[in-house]
Structure 1
Amino acid sequence: MRCFGDGNKLYSDYHDHEWGRPVLDEHGLFERICLEAFQSGLSWLIVLRKRAHLRKVFCAFDPQEVACFGAADVARLLDDKGTIRNRAKIEAAVANARATLDLRQGSRPLPELVWTFRPRSAPAPSSFAELPSLTPESTSLAKALKRNGFRFVGPTTAYALMQACGLVNDHLAGCLVRDEVDRRQASMPLGAFAGEGSTMGDLR
């Protein structure tokens, strides 16, 4: 059983090979933050269909490049029919790139900050009706990201990020990749990114 994505190869490939698998690198997390923000109010399939073009116009979601975007770049993207033409979301991507670079200069780069909010594992859900739209951890993560200059990352978007990047495993019980995702997540000790001597609650 595939818990979502049947009937569309783009969607099923995302389910089978990406959703729920741990994303540990800055570049990957920055891209997911941008995509989750772009998805707000839209279907995820729309974002997947535009993803290749979004990668092209956002310099493969390299935060170093996107941080240099100015007003002319925003105007160019707003005029591009292949993008998601929402000024607030585009400007958020630029602001989030700059915030990502700022984190590099501090004691906790983006992967460390995000993974600090990984909760303890929970039983496999039997239906999507059992899944929350936000959690205490996603609320705390959203606050930490906003405190560090990120935009368009409320608690619901933060929980979607946690699902996508493997902080939680919300594949349903019986899903064909549930056990594999469990194994990948279990290979990372809880608090692996918290830093020596720090606790999981440092940023909450």
Structure 2
Amino acid sequence: MFRAYRAVMETHTRASGTAVGPLGLGSVLVDSLPTTLMTAGAPRRYTVEAVFTRRPEADEVAGILGASTRDALTRAGYAGVELTVSDRRLEIGGTNLEELRDGLARVLADRLAEVTAEVRRRQEAAAAEFRKTAESEHDRAAAAAALAQEVSFRPSPDRAASAPSSNGSLGERDESARLNVWADEGGHGR
């Protein structure tokens, strides 16, 4: 349970911004652009690769590639744009530098901020639920231990009064016989 708690808390720490900031895009990989760019033979649309500000988490990648991002791009007028995540790069297909400069870059930045916020909310909710479960389990274990402490294996008062006295009584002989059996069965160090 501790390992699972630590994993949730490490994810929570990353998600809370303490160890990691929001996911964003830094710059365009110029080497990935078509070599014919700004010539008469330049393609109208192509793939532009941009570098993430940090490695995206799996949940962030899912958010970037999910239907909500597709819907956001369509609403903003970029229905033909295709996104692919490749390690620390976002491949933005079906676009061009002018379109990115004139608004698509901001739409992508806003969507990445939304994705990060959504992932953080889910991680924080999971961490809170885990803490609640861990606290409940701790309380349950403490209650069980307290109840176990209340268990007493003393004879009832009427039985204790009828027990033989300790001057060679039947109780001592029975105890002696039990010890001998125990020794005979290997319970005594040989």
Larger Rg: 2
TM-score, normalised relative to structure 2: 0.23
Higher percent of residues as strand: 2
- Greater relative contact order, per chain length (Cα 8 Å cut-off, separation 6+): 1
